[in-house]
């Protein structure tokens, strides 16, 4: 039950219940740092997933993406790590594709480069408006690789510029874990 995985769209099953995601993340970050594995931002706020509340602990980025869709990689993938009161983890994955500059991602890059803890005014810009997603049970993708993690991979990618991708790759060009075997796990999808 390890992550990441390739998501073969032909094998995905529709979710039977609701499953909507609502995000209320803080713009006030407590730390943005290069932690040796990625650019990691310590933040707070809540994610409500299918009527269950999780607290955001941190988010970080991988280049290129860790998850793939039908074998396709994206230049970047963000992981928003959320934890419930009972300790259960839910990670929301967001793909980034080359396009227009992303203001929120730019603010993260600037915070890491200058060491300041300024607000991310445009935190909404690192999420697509459409929160349709793929869902499966997997693991953390960095040590200790803990299993029984709920994954929610948003289907719609968000734009970042070629320059921003290159700026991130100055820190990390290949900090993505290889794809892991699906091993009979079910992948569900929820469409808004």
Largest interatomic CA distance in the chain? 47
Domains, the chain? 6-190 (3.10.200.10)
Catalytic residues: 37
User: CA-based angle 38:175:151, to the nearest 5?
Assistant: 80
Q: What is the mean pLDDT of residues 64-75?
A: 97
Q: What is the pTM of this model?
A: 0.94
Secondary structure (3-state) at 35:
coil
For 1-27, write each residue's pLDDT tens digit.
999 999 999 999 999 877 889 999 987
| pLDDT per position as a tens digit, 130-179 | 999 999 999 999 989 999 999 999 999 999 999 999 999 998 888 999 99
pLDDT digits (tens, 9 = 90+) for 99-128: 999 999 998 898 888 766 667 767 889 999
């Amino acid at each position: 039950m390890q992550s990441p995985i390739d998501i073969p769209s032909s094998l995905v099953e529709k979710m039977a219940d609701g499953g909507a995601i609502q995000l209320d993340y803080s713009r006030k970050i407590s730390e943005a740092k290069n932690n040796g594995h990625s650019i990691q931002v310590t933040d707070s706020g809540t994610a409500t997933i299918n009527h269950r509340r999780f607290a955001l602990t941190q988010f970080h980025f991988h280049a290129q993406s860790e998850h793939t869709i039908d074998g396709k990689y994206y230049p970047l993938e963000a992981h928003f790590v959320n934890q419930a009161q009972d300790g259960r983890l839910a990670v929301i994955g967001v793909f980034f594709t080359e396009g227009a500059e992303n203001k929120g991602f730019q603010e993260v890059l600037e915070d890491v480069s200058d060491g300041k803890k300024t607000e991310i005014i445009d935190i909404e810009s690192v999420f697509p408006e459409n929160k349709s997603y793929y869902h499966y049970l997997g693991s953390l993708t960095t040590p200790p690789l803990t299993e029984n993690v709920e994954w929610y991979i948003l289907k719609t990618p968000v734009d970042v510029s070629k320059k921003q991708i290159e700026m991130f790759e100055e820190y990390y060009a290949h900090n993505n874990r290889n794809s892991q075997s699906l091993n009979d796990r079910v992948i569900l999808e929820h469409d808004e």
